[in-house]
Amino acid sequence: MQILSEMRRTHNCGELRRANAGQKVILKGWVAGWRNHGGIYFVDLRDRYGITQVVFDERLGENFDLISQVRNEYVLVVQGEVSDRGENINKKIPTGEIEVYALAFEILTRSEATPFPIEDEVNANEVTRLQYRYLDLRRKPLQDIMVLRHKVNQIARNYLSDNGFLEIETPYLNKSTPEGARDYLVPSRVQPGNFYALPQSPQIFKQILMVAGFDRYFQIVRCFRDEDLRQDRQPEFTQIDIELSFPDEEMIYEIVEGLLVKVWKETKGMNIPHPFPRITWTESMARFGVDNPDMRYGLELCTLNEIMAGCAFKAFASVVEAGGLVKAFSVPDPDKTLSRSFIEKELDPFVKVYGAKGLAWARTGAEGWQSSIAKFFDADTQKRINELAGANAEDSVIFFVASENPRIVNGALGNLRKKIAAKMGLVKDNDYKFVWVTEFPLFEYSEEAKRWASAHHPFTQPRPEHMDMLQSDPGKVLARAYDIVLNGNEIGGGSIRIHSSEMQQKVFRALGIGDEEAREKFGFLLDALQFGAPPHGGLAFGMDRLIMLLACTQSIRDVIAFPKTTSASCLMSNAPSRVDNAQLKELGLKLEKI
């Protein structure tokens, strides 16, 4: 006789239906719950595919007294007969039309009591959940995300492969070229005193692959940044990396839109209209204050400099006089959700985080503005401002920020706009609005380093007509760079790259990277550009962010099987940890006394 535990399951726990009634089946899975009704045990058997109710009569079967020992998360193999539940359908589960009457069973593995129940919603704190990640991952919401992530992976690979892209693996043990974020270093044992660096992205390698003639490359690849972590960052993250030769921006937009449309269609059954809208960086900053605009709602910003020039409200007039900026936006608020105290206690401090001195505001009404600044503006001017800010005359709130530094105005109002939209319920799940933001500036001025730095990276091509401003007016140089933005989140970005070594050298110089430093850091790229580099460009998606948006989750740790905390620890394995001194000695390293 064959031993039950060695027999294969005939079905998984999610697939039996009324049509299977009368069949003898073998199921394997975890006990998700059990009830004893006077010697009849009802056990919910769970696997990744679903839950099936199994009925054990302890008077039957040789070892059926054992059933009273079974507890949650025990792993069982059950042989039984499928029975039609008739009218008595359990509508909560897809297998609810049937139950299985156990004829034989074995306990495959026992389980301790789990520190939290394996249920869709749990109250356990995140530290416990991360420590017992294997239990947290048994919960259906996380399982569903991992399945979703797998699907997106597969869809992306097949789509890109079908479009002539080759997946080529680039190395993880690389040369350290610190630029932007910190590298994770890997000491070399064979060459003590030397170090590899883990890639922040495969940028240079994918460009080298274009020089090598591969024409179309992609890779779904891990990247690493040793940054001080915020809630939404992880030290290692996954990128869908795409590069092609002989491209133009339109070609890249088409390819990327095709991919995203397919992902949304196949994972959510949604038809995303395309081509996606596009706006230039300059327009995005003007209308939305940010370079990652959320297009699901209006609340667009307007500029009030003309009206405020020489106005009676000196705070605004003086900003205009000093060459600053006064902007505003409005939101209808018939229900008076935005109370004075909410604005003063929540929103005023919020804009100050972005450097604004304060938030001015006005409520419209039949009698004109209710506002501490109402007195500075006559009825006509209030009306003109209402119109410019798109406020209705009855029940809108207008928010104003003024500063001599335009970045402060845009940062404060752009982010306030997002906060207000959330507060007012303008943001809905399963509403997806994509937009291309194009023509980014090539450089950003780093106040810290007191020099110009690459906005994207130093391999981005300036717009050809701006080449002559590289030295004279670097802040005005626009780049052939673009971001794909979804619901206010940058999910990908890229550029047409520099393919001439002369242009690359000019950009390095504009960045204050001398020829010697350029050669030391990027010599192999400069060399490669000498030997017939094709025009090329591409884009990289942040996979983790993409999955977060698809899964409608707020935590990046929900979309990564084994995430790290903000102190870059794995609470399950306790990485990082001490190592033997012998290991360090082999690497030629000593710990500094701390």
Binding range to a second copy, per CB under 8 A, among 119-127, 230-238, 280-288, 439-447:
230-238
Member of 39, 349, 475, 576 binding a second copy (CB under 8 A) = 576
Residue 282 identity: T
Identity of the residue, 374 or 589, whose beta carbon is nearer to a second copy in the bound complex:
589
As measured in angstroms, the least distance from the Cβ of 258 to a second copy is 16
Q: What is the DSSP letter of 292?
A: S
Identity of the residue, 53 or 219, whose beta carbon is nearer to a second copy in the bound complex:
219
Member of 23, 176, 381, 415 binding a second copy (CB under 8 A) = 176
Site string for a second copy, 437-476 (x = CB under 8 A): ----------------------------------------
Q: Is 164 exposed, middle or buried (0-12, 13-18, 19+ CB in 10 A)?
A: exposed
Instruction: Work out whether 4 is an interface residue with a second copy (CB under 8 A).
Output: no
As measured in angstroms, the least distance from the Cβ of 19 to a second copy is 21
Residue 253, token pair as written in the block: 């937009």
How many CB atoms neighbour CB 291 within 10 A?
20
As measured in angstroms, the least distance from the Cβ of 478 to a second copy is 17
Instruction: Work out whether 19 is an interface residue with a second copy (CB under 8 A).
Output: no
Give how many residues touch a second copy by CB under 8 A: 124
Could you say which residues in the range 245-284 bind a second copy, by CB under 8 A?
245-246, 248, 251
Instruction: Work out whether 542 is an interface residue with a second copy (CB under 8 A).
Output: no
Could you say which residues in the range 67-96 bind a second copy, by CB under 8 A?
73-75
As measured in angstroms, the least distance from the Cβ of 416 to a second copy is 33
Could you say which residues in the range 390-429 bind a second copy, by CB under 8 A?
none
Instruction: Work out whether 1 is an interface residue with a second copy (CB under 8 A).
Output: no
Interacting residues of 462 by C-beta distance below 8 A, sequence separation 6+ = 442, 470, 477, 478, 479, 480, 503, 507
Member of 258, 368, 406, 535 binding a second copy (CB under 8 A) = 535
Instruction: Work out whether 579 is an interface residue with a second copy (CB under 8 A).
Output: yes
Site string for a second copy, 544-563 (x = CB under 8 A): ----------------xxx-
Binding range to a second copy, per CB under 8 A, among 41-49, 122-130, 399-407, 490-498:
41-49
How many CB atoms neighbour CB 585 within 10 A?
11
Residue 384 near residue 307 (C-beta atoms within 8 A)? yes
In Å, what is the CA distance from 116 to each residue of 11, 144, 553, 572?
Answer: 28, 19, 21, 15
Member of 42, 49, 350, 432 binding a second copy (CB under 8 A) = 49
Residue 128, token pair as written in the block: 């416990």
Instruction: Work out whether 434 is an interface residue with a second copy (CB under 8 A).
Output: no
Residue 235 near residue 229 (C-beta atoms within 8 A)? yes
Measured CA to CA, the distance from residue 28 to residue 109 in angstroms comes to 11
Could you say which residues in the range 100-129 bind a second copy, by CB under 8 A?
108-112, 114
Member of 1, 88, 190, 447 binding a second copy (CB under 8 A) = 190
As measured in angstroms, the least distance from the Cβ of 576 to a second copy is 4
How many CB atoms neighbour CB 593 within 10 A?
4
Member of 36, 63, 161, 372 binding a second copy (CB under 8 A) = 161
Q: Is 388 exposed, middle or buried (0-12, 13-18, 19+ CB in 10 A)?
A: middle
Could you say which residues in the range 500-519 bind a second copy, by CB under 8 A?
500
Measured CA to CA, the distance from residue 38 to residue 240 in angstroms comes to 56
In Å, what is the CA distance from 331 to each residue of 308, 359, 433?
Answer: 21, 15, 20
Residue 511 near residue 453 (C-beta atoms within 8 A)? yes
Whether a cis peptide bond, with omega within 30° of 0, leads into 576 is: yes
Residue 84's H or E segment, with its range, is strand 75-84
How many CB atoms neighbour CB 459 within 10 A?
22
Member of 20, 95, 201, 238 binding a second copy (CB under 8 A) = 238
Identity of the residue, 85 or 140, whose beta carbon is nearer to a second copy in the bound complex:
140
